[in-house]
Every structure is written in C-alpha cells, then in structure tokens.
Amino acid sequence: MLALLGVLVVVVGFATKRNPLLVVGVAGIVTGLFGGLSPRAVLADFGTGFAASRSVTIFVITLPVIGLLERYGLREQARALVTRFAALTTGRFLALYLILRQLTAAVGLVSLGGPAQAVRPMVAPMAEGAAERRYGALPERTRERIRSFAASADNVGLFFGEDCFLAVGSILLITGFVNTTYKTHLEPLDLALWAIPTAACACLIHGARLLRLDRTLERELAAAEGALPRADVEEAAT
Amino acid sequence: MIQAEWFYWLVGAVFLAMAGQMAMDRSNPRRFGTAAFWGLVGAAFVYSTWVADKTAPAEPLGAAVLVMVCLAGFGFTGRGTVPAAPAERRAASAARLGNRLFVPALTIPAVAMVCAVVVKGWHIGRRPVLQAGSETILGLGIGTVVALVVAMLVVRERRPAAPLQAGRGLLETMGYVMLLPQLLATLGTIFQAAGVGDSVGKLTEHVLPHGQTYVAVVVYCAGMAVFTVVMGNGFAAFPVLTAAVGWPLLIQQAHGRPAVVLAAGMLAGFCGTLCTPMAANFNLVPATLLELKDQYGPIKAQIPTAVALLACNIVIISVFAF
C-alpha cells in the first residue's frame, strides 16, 4: 500500500503546478523505495523504462522539416488556402478533420495526424484562417480557444478511431492480457467491432461541439467585427 | 534489414547536433545547461540500444535520466533567440511557393503509410526489409528523411544546418516538456515494478458492493477513467480494473459479453486520457507546440466530450453486454 504514496506525489505535484519533470522524478523514487525496491533497482528501472519508451519522443525527428517549412511560410500558406473556401467555417473545418482523423486511424494510419506533423503547421492555422476571413484579426482569447479545439479534434479522432483497427496497441493489450490471464480465446476482430459504437458517439458528440464552436465565435466576435483593420491580421497572426 | 535501433540512433544524433548548436548560441543565458540536457537525451537514446537488449547495465542510464530531471527541474535550461524569419518574408515566400509548401509536409505521412502497408510485406532473401513490428516508426523515420530532401528542393535551401537550426528553434520553444511523455512512461514502469496496480486492485475490491451489476459497470468505467487520469495511460489502468472488477464481476458473475465489456472499458479509459496532464504527449505537448498561454487549453476543450463519452460507454456496456 505504501507504493501508492508515489501516486499521491503525482497528484499533489500536478495540482500545485510544480515542475513536472521533478514531480515525475520524485514520484518514481518514492514509489520505488516505498514499494520495496532497492535504490539500485530504482535506478535500473529508470534506465530500462527510458530505453523502452523512446518511441514516444521520436516525433522530434520531424521538427527540422516542419521548422524549415514554417520559415518559408507553411503556416501562412495554410491560412491562405483555407480562406479560399467560403463555406468552410472554423467549426466545419475542424469537424471535417475530426472525421478524417477517425477514419484514417480506423484503418491503421495513425501517423497521418499528430500535433507536431499536422496540427501546428496546418490544422490550427487553417482553423484560424477560416475565422479570420470572417471576423478579421482575432483576439488572443479566441485564438487560444481555436487552437485548443484543433488539438482536441486530433486527440478525439485518434483515440476513438484507432480502436476500430485490429492491430492497434490497445486491442492487442486487451487480447494479450485476457487470453494469457484467463485462458480464453478472445478475437481482436470482436473487440474492434465493439469499439465502433463508442467511435460513432465520439464523432457525433465532438463533431457537434466543433460545429457549435462557430456559434460561440459568432457571438464573441460579431461585436468586435471591423474593430481591427484587415492589415493587422498578418501581424496578429504571428 | 533496417533496424528500429538505427532510427533511434538517428534521433539521438539529431539531439546531439542540436545540443551542439545550443552550446554555441550566445543569445541563450543558460546555453550550457540547455545543451547538457539535450545532449544527455541524445546520448541516452543511443546508449538505450544496449540497455534494451540487456548487454549494458541500466543503472548508468537511470542516473543520466535523474541528471536530466535535475537539469530541467532546477532551472538550468533556457532558450535562445533563434533568428526567426520576419513575417513579411514568410508571407512573400508563401505567396511565391504556394501549395508546393504542403508537398514535403504531406510526404511524411504518405511515405509512413507506404512503409506500414506496402514495404511491410517486402523481403530480401527471407528477412523482412523493415524490422518486423517496427514498420510504423521506421516509416515515420524514412518519411521524414525523404520529406527533408523534398523540402530542401522545394524551398531551394542548400545549407544542411538550416533545417537543423529551424528544428532546434522549435525544440527550444517547447522546452523540456517534450521529454515529459517519455518520463511518464518510465514512471509507469516503476509503478508496475513496485506493485501500485495490485494495491489499487485491492482497494477497489474493498469498496465495491456485491451483486449489483449496473453499479459494477459504473465502477468499472469510472474507475478506468479515474485511474487513467492518475496514471496518464489507459494501458496501465486496464489490467488493474479488469482484474478487480471487469472480469470477476461483469463477465464471470453477470455473464457479460467479454468483447463488449472490455472494448468499451478500454475506451472509458481513453476518456480519462482526454482529461489529464499526465498524458503529456496528447495534452501538454500540443499546448506548448501551439504556443498556448493556458497549458490546460486542450484539456478544457476535451473535458465535456470526455464526460459525455464516459456516459456513452456505461450505457453501451449496460445495453449490449447482458
């Protein structure tokens, strides 16, 4: 039971906004030592854990490409492109991205999106561009809101799309755990099929919330429309 | 043929090269601390190869991780001012290059897709071209290398240091938060080794009333979500709650259909992932990448959807499993 102290460290650390790396380090040491591991074993666990989880950090490899393209105006072009489609509002665009993200993840193409490769360089600027065409320069708060929703569309689409695919980690974890622990024969296909109802709910619920974002923007920005001249858009956008 | 470890060495080399640039960047008041942090990350990426196949001791790597934690945790890292291209020049370049700018960006997923679907089946002799089981991450690596070449051609950039500088700028903008997901995964390993899962399982068994199927459904789903919020990962919550509630009560006692219970249960955990800073790669990294002032912006945008979907999962199990 003493090992749970580490969980407490994490909760309190995040709640009081301590430096997250320190929180994780301290929590690991506390958990290990109170959980009955020797200091040497804790050190070894930090090492093996780091080595085994390198795949979470590999998206760094895309940064040079994305950074170079951004220097040559990728985000500006993303904004400019979306303003050509008059019917594409921020909410509709993000709902469309949500559906695309879900469908591609459901056939196993999880690396098509992602915050570094897609949301920062393309999706967020396009969502902002759609709002800028309508309302001119955006206040800081609105810009933050649109970017947050762009990130949310990527996450929701990924989480509730990928489980409809057979060979994804979570499905394999379920069958692996259950079949070895309880000696049954659970088929991945069955699990993937039963992920579809939740996926449909996710699409409807988050899609509806994204579409409603348009009305929120309308309400917030209609008053401010024309208050800032169009020429400021580029500057505010940086 | 092509090993996943080669790709990790490439990532490590990129970190080391960027650390070299950081050490020489006089505009960064803490340039040596920053360079030491990312240099250590790069070296650890390479050294991990031998820890992973158990031919080198893991303790030095663990010590290096704790040094990284201290460097970032006690404020020894900072950021320089990588000269950004001025807004007018970016706009002019966007106007000149137009939609060609999207080609390299889309090359990454396109090549990754081809690798995961087509190249996966290729063999030379009897050995697969891409290491089995690592096709997706190798696809990402190969896609990025191809995209870099395409990008240099599209924007007519000849200096190989230019993309590295631009990437380093992004890395410094995001800062040490970038490494948080990996450290949280490491923490998960320690939680597992120290038996945190078993303790939580015992706790749930204590508080749960017997014989009430629908209460058990709620406890299973809500437990998955809450435990995922704490651990940052539905994968860690799943074995614990399935062993404590899902299997004994919902499947054995109430004869629920395993596929429905377990699939929806896992997805209930994902609702927790949408709400927690512990899932840093999904929630905090995007906030820094998008340069949000409110670190919790994406989480706030996701919470209503997560709560509604948790309710959906409870309903789905209640209706379809029994």
Per-residue confidence (pLDDT) for residue A30, from 0 to 100: 93
Query: Which of B184, B193, B300 is closest, CB to CB, to A45?
Result: B193
**Interface check A64 vs B, CB under 8 A:** yes
The verdict on B281 and B297 lying in the same domain is yes
Of the candidates B156, B179, B203, which is a domain's last residue? B156
Nearest to A218 by CA among A126, A99, A154, A138: A138
The verdict on B8 and B140 lying in the same domain is no
- Full 3-state SS string of chain A: CHHHHHHHHHHHHHHCCCCHHHHHHHHHHHHHHHCCCCHHHHHHHHHHHHHHCHHHHHHHHHHHHHHHHHHCCHHHHHHHHHCCCCCCCHHHHHHHHHHHHHHHHHCCCHHHCCHHHHHHHHHHHHHHHHHHHHHCCCCHHHHHHHHHHHHHHHHHHHHHHHCCCCCCHHHHHHHHHHHHHHCCCCCHHHHHHCCHHHHHHHHHHHHHHHHHHHHHHHHHHHCCCCCCCCCHHHHHHC
Per-residue confidence (pLDDT) for residue A238, from 0 to 100: 44
The verdict on A41 and A76 lying in the same domain is no
The verdict on A98 and A185 lying in the same domain is yes
Per-residue confidence (pLDDT) for residue B244, from 0 to 100: 80
The verdict on B119 and B140 lying in the same domain is yes
How far is residue B76's CA from residue A2's CA, in Å, rounded to a whole number?
Answer: 32
The verdict on A32 and A125 lying in the same domain is no
Do A53 and B57 make contact, defined as CB atoms within 8 angstroms?
Answer: no
Nearest to B73 by CA among A24, A25, A26, A21: A21
Full-model pTM: 0.81
The verdict on A42 and A70 lying in the same domain is no
Q: Is B312 exposed, middle or buried, given 0-12, 13-18 or 19+ CB atoms closer than 10 A?
A: buried
Per-residue confidence (pLDDT) for residue B18, from 0 to 100: 93
What integer is the mean pLDDT of A132-152?
93
DSSP helix/strand/coil, B123: strand
Neighbours of B283 (CB within 10 A): 28
**Interface check B304 vs A, CB under 8 A:** yes
The verdict on B216 and B287 lying in the same domain is yes
**Is the pLDDT assigned to residue A232 strictly greater than 50?**
no
Residue type, B176: Y
Restricting to B residues 115-174, those with a Cβ less than 8 Å away from any Cβ of A are: 116, 136-137, 139-141, 144, 147-148, 151-152, 155, 157, 162-171
The verdict on B283 and B214 lying in the same domain is yes
DSSP string, B206-227: HHPPSS-HHHHHHHHHHHHHHH
Q: What's the total number of domains in chain A?
A: 2
Query: Which of A69, A119, A140 is closest, CB to CB, to B104?
Result: A69
The verdict on A14 and A78 lying in the same domain is no
Nearest to A221 by CA among A124, A109, A143, A162: A143
The verdict on B183 and B72 lying in the same domain is yes
The verdict on A117 and A27 lying in the same domain is no
Q: What's the total number of domains in chain B?
A: 3
Nearest to A225 by CA among A142, A144, A167: A142
pLDDT band at A126 (very low <50, low <70, confident <90, very high): very high
Cα-to-chain-centroid distance, residue A232? 30
Q: In chain A, what is the greatest distance between 2 CA atoms, to the nearest angstrom?
A: 68
pLDDT band at A231 (very low <50, low <70, confident <90, very high): very low
Nearest to B186 by CA among B55, B44, B31: B44
The verdict on A31 and A91 lying in the same domain is no
The verdict on B170 and B182 lying in the same domain is yes
What integer is the mean pLDDT of A155-163?
92
Q: Which domain holds residue A36?
A: 2-52
Neighbours of B99 (CB within 10 A): 11
DSSP helix/strand/coil, B131: coil
Q: Going by C-beta distance under 8 Å and a sequence separation of 6 or more, which residues neighbour residue A58?
A: B7, B8, B11, B137, B140, B141
Per-residue confidence (pLDDT) for residue A235, from 0 to 100: 45
The verdict on B125 and B220 lying in the same domain is no
Q: Which domain holds residue B140?
A: 87-156
pLDDT band at A226 (very low <50, low <70, confident <90, very high): low
The verdict on B299 and B208 lying in the same domain is yes
Total residue count of chain A as it appears in this document: 238
Do A50 and B284 make contact, defined as CB atoms within 8 angstroms?
Answer: no
Do B305 and A209 make contact, defined as CB atoms within 8 angstroms?
Answer: yes
The verdict on A31 and A67 lying in the same domain is no
Nearest to A49 by CA among B43, B58, B9, B229: B58
Of the candidates A52, A75, A90, which is a domain's last residue? A52
Restricting to A residues 213-232, those with a Cβ less than 8 Å away from any Cβ of B are: none
The verdict on B216 and B272 lying in the same domain is yes
The verdict on B228 and B310 lying in the same domain is yes
Cα-to-chain-centroid distance, residue B10? 18
Per-residue confidence (pLDDT) for residue B61, from 0 to 100: 95
Residue from B88, B206, B220, B290 whose CB has the most chain A CBs within 10 Å, to mutate: B290
Q: Which two tokens stand for residue B14?
A: 């990129």
Q: In angstroms, what separates the C-alpha of A212 from chain B's closest C-alpha?
A: 12
Q: What angle separates helix B180-193 from helix A39-52, to the nearest 10 degrees?
A: 130
Q: In angstroms, what separates the C-alpha of A19 from chain B's closest C-alpha?
A: 6
Per-residue confidence (pLDDT) for residue B83, from 0 to 100: 67
The verdict on B92 and B116 lying in the same domain is yes
The verdict on A89 and A108 lying in the same domain is yes
Decide the pairing of beta strands B127-128 and B123-124.
Answer: antiparallel
Per-residue confidence (pLDDT) for residue B121, from 0 to 100: 80
Q: What ipTM score was computed for the predicted complex, to two decimals?
A: 0.82
Per-residue confidence (pLDDT) for residue A13, from 0 to 100: 84
The verdict on A25 and A95 lying in the same domain is no
Q: In chain B, what is the greatest distance between 2 CA atoms, to the nearest angstrom?
A: 71
The verdict on A12 and A67 lying in the same domain is no
Query: Which of B186, B194, B270 is closest, CB to CB, to A53?
Result: B186
Contact in structure between A148 and A159 (CB atoms under 8 Å): no
Phi, psi of B233 (to 5 degrees): -155, 120
How far is residue B86's CA from residue A219's CA, in Å, rounded to a whole number?
Answer: 33
How far is residue B305's CA from residue B271's CA, in Å, rounded to a whole number?
Answer: 8
Q: What pLDDT digit, counting tens, does each position of A160-214 carry?
A: 998 887 667 778 778 877 887 787 888 888 888 899 999 999 999 999 999 999 9
* pLDDT per 10-residue tile (average), chain B, 322 residues: 88 94 88 94 95 91 95 87 77 88 85 81 83 79 92 90 89 85 82 76 71 88 91 79 85 91 95 92 91 93 97 95 90
